[in-house]
Amino acid sequence: MDAATMTKPAVLILLGPPGAGKGTQARMLEEKFGLVQLSTGDLLRAAVAASTEAGKAAKAVMEAGKLVSDEIVVNILRDRLAQPDCARGVILDGFPRTTVQAGALDALLAESGQGINAAINLEVDDAAMVTRISGRFTCGDCGEGYHDTFKAPVVAGTCDKCGSTNMKRRADDNAETVASRLVAYHEQTAPLIAYYKARDVLKSIDAMGDIDTIAADLAAIVKQATA
């Protein structure tokens, strides 16, 4: 089913530690189902680049691999969710990350009579995440994500999607910051697995395989959860 035939806008959440493949898979789901990917990491990086008040407050926290305050993140997400394109349905990538954020999301969705179709947990081994993150780069023009080993562009240095040669690496993609991000994930975000299990919307998939196999598994879950 595509977004046009869904009765209520779908709300899907991707859970998983840094490097689990949330962004990679969210972009594929966006293309396949016509949904909108909402990455709070991308929204925060845009705020940092634009030097907004929220961006100034978030910059050092992100560089340290810690979580930005719930207040800032919920405000950013609320503004983005209110934009018209989100009526197509959304894939939340990197939000919520605390039980406070999860409660705020429930309240926001309740205002428009919406609920969560599925919270999908990407199960991975922490040890592999440093390799995934340290090889990551992204097209600075269209945002397509790549990996030195696991998802290299067809022509080295050139984006498969838009032809740009403006490739970027993230400032927080170093071993030390990844270690902090993994600690933050286990302490503050992993409890959301139980949170969504208790609400009967949790789905889990093995996310240690290849990108296309995981995409197929995810697509089957999304089809079922939005039917």
As annotated, the active-site residues are 22, 97, 136, 170, 181
Residue 32 or 151 with smaller CB distance to ligand AP5: 151
CB of 211 to ligand AP5, least distance (A): 5
Q: Which of 2, 57, 64, 68 is nearest to 35 (CA)?
A: 2
Residue 8 or 166 with smaller CB distance to ligand AP5: 166
Contact at 8 Å (CB) between 134 and 28?
Answer: no
CB of 90 to ligand AP5, least distance (A): 14
CB of 190 to ligand AP5, least distance (A): 12
Question: How many other C-beta atoms lie within 10 A of the C-beta of residue 65?
Answer: 19
For residue 31, the 8-state DSSP code is: H
Find out whether the peptide bond into 153 is cis, omega within 30 degrees of 0.
no
Q: Which residues face 168 on adjacent strands?
A: 138
Residue 10 or 136 with smaller CB distance to ligand AP5: 136
CB of 62 to ligand AP5, least distance (A): 4
Residue 147 or 203 with smaller CB distance to ligand AP5: 147
Residues at the contact surface with ligand AP5, assessed by CB under 6 A:
16, 18-24, 39-41, 44, 61-62, 65-68, 73, 94-95, 97, 101, 132-133, 135-136, 145-147, 150-151, 181, 210-211, 214
